[in-house]
Amino acid sequence: MQNAIEIRDLTKTYGTRRGLDSLNLDVCAGEVFGYLGPNGAGKSTTIRLLLDLIRPTRGAATVLGLDPRHDGVELRRRVGYLAGDFVVDGRQQVRECLRYLAALRGGVPQSHIDELTDRLGLEPNSTIKSLSKGNRQKVGLVQAFMHTPELLILDEPSSGLDPLLQQTFLDLVREAAENGQTVFMSSHIMDEVEAVADRIAILREGRLVALDTVADLRASAVRRIEIEFADPVTLEQFRALPGIADLTLDDSRTILRAKVIGTPDAIIKAAAHHLVTSLRTSEPHLDEIFHAQYTGDEAHPMPVA
C-alpha cells in the first residue's frame, strides 16, 4: 500500500534547541495515525514541516507523493489541515468564512457544509469573534473536513470541545477512514486516540520513542496481576519466570501479586499447577503506556517499527 506520508531523517533546530531529531516515519494511505507527546515534544513542528510552513534543518518528507516545498499549491488542495491555534478573520460570519475557504479549495457543496455545521452544533450566522474557543474549534473542524481531502492533518483537533462534541469528532474521523481518507492526528487526549487510531507514535523531546498498534503497545506494557490460591504457595515457584517484577505474597501465602511485562502467559501456566480461586489483572491503558515514557515509572524499551 502506498504511504500517505514518508519522513526521512527529519530534523529541525531552533538555535541551540532541537525541535525534532532525525525522525523517520511512514504513515500508510487510509490509516488513522495517532501522534502523541506533551507540549514541546515536536508534534506541531512535524506538522508544520509536512506543510512547508517551516523548513527543515536536515532531512526530507513527502506528503501524498509530493514535495511540500515545490508542490505546495497542489498539495494544499488535497489536504485538510486544522492548526493547533486555528485563527481566521474575526469580523466574518461563520457562513462567510466557510464559503471563502471552500472557494479557495475549488468549491464545496453548500449542503455538505451545512451538514457539518449542524452535526457540530455551530451557528452559521454568528461572527467568528463572538464565538467561544470550543465553537471556533468547530469552525476549524468544518473547514478541514468539508472538501473530503485525501489526507487530514489535525493538530490537537478536539481542544475546547465538550464531551458530546468530542464523540461527534471521533465519528467524523471514523467516517473519513471508512471513506479511504488518511488521518494524521496529533493529540494529548489518550482516550480519543485509543478509540480511533490504527497505529500510534509517541514522541519525546523531538525523538520517536514508540511506534506500533495500540494492541501491540499494550501487549508489551506493564500490567498488574493478582492470583488467589486455595492453598499456600511459595515465591520460588514464580520468581524465575520471564517478565515478572515486584513479586509478593500476602501473610497467608495464598494471594500472589506481581507486575508483568508483556504477556502473562508464563505466570498463568505456573499458577495452573495449583487450585486457583480467583485471578485479577489490570489491562494497561494508552495513557499509562504514554506516561511511562516520560516519568520512567515502570518504563521499559518500547517497539519502534
Q: Give residue 298's pLDDT.
A: 42
Q: Do 259 and 224 form a contact (C-beta atoms < 8 A)? A: yes
Q: What is the DSSP string of 175-235?
A: HHHHTT-EEEEEES-HHHHHHH-SEEEEEETTEEEEEE-HHHHHHTSEEEEEEEESS---T
Sign of CA dihedral 148, 151, 154, 157: positive
Q: Dihedral through CA 260, CA 266, CA 272, CA 274, nearest 10?
A: -70
Q: Give residue 2's pLDDT.
A: 81
In the chain, which ranges are continuous DSSP H helix?
43-50, 72-78, 94-104, 110-119, 133-145, 163-178, 190-196, 214-219, 236-239, 265-271, 286-295
Q: CA-to-CA distance for 37 and 273, rounded, in angstroms?
A: 43
Query: Could you identify the residue written with the cell 469573534?
Result: 129
Q: CA-to-CA distance for 57 and 282, rounded, in angstroms?
A: 44
Q: Give residue 284's pLDDT.
A: 60
252: left (phi over 0), alpha (psi -120 to 50) or beta: alpha
Q: CA-to-CA distance for 163 and 255, rounded, in angstroms?
A: 40
Q: Give residue 96's pLDDT.
A: 93
Q: Give residue 296's pLDDT.
A: 52
Q: Give residue 78's pLDDT.
A: 93
Other C-beta atoms lying within 10 Å of the C-beta of residue 91: 10
- Give the global pTM: 0.77
Closest listed residue to residue 179, CA positions, set 112, 94, 256, 105 = 112
Tell me which amino acid residue 77 is. R
* pLDDT tens profile 211-243: 888 777 766 667 889 999 999 999 998 988 988
* pLDDT tens profile 49-59: 999 999 999 99
Q: How far is CA 253 from CA 6, 108, 273, 279, in A?
A: 54, 69, 16, 15
Q: In what order do the strands lie in the sheet with 32-36?
A: 79-82, 151-155, 182-187, 32-36, 199-204, 207-212
Domains annotated on the chain, with CATH: 3-217 (3.40.50.300), 222-283 (3.30.70)
User: Who contacts 187 (Cβ-Cβ below 8 Å, separation ≥6)?
Assistant: 34, 35, 36, 156, 157, 158, 193
Q: Please report which helix (H) or strand (E) contains residue 7, including its range.
A: strand 3-14
Q: Give residue 219's pLDDT.
A: 67
Closest listed residue to residue 46, CA positions, set 100, 88, 84, 1 = 84
275: left (phi over 0), alpha (psi -120 to 50) or beta: beta
Which residues in the chain show pLDDT less than 70?
1, 218-221, 283-305
Crossing angle of helices 133-145 and 94-104, in 10° steps, is: 30
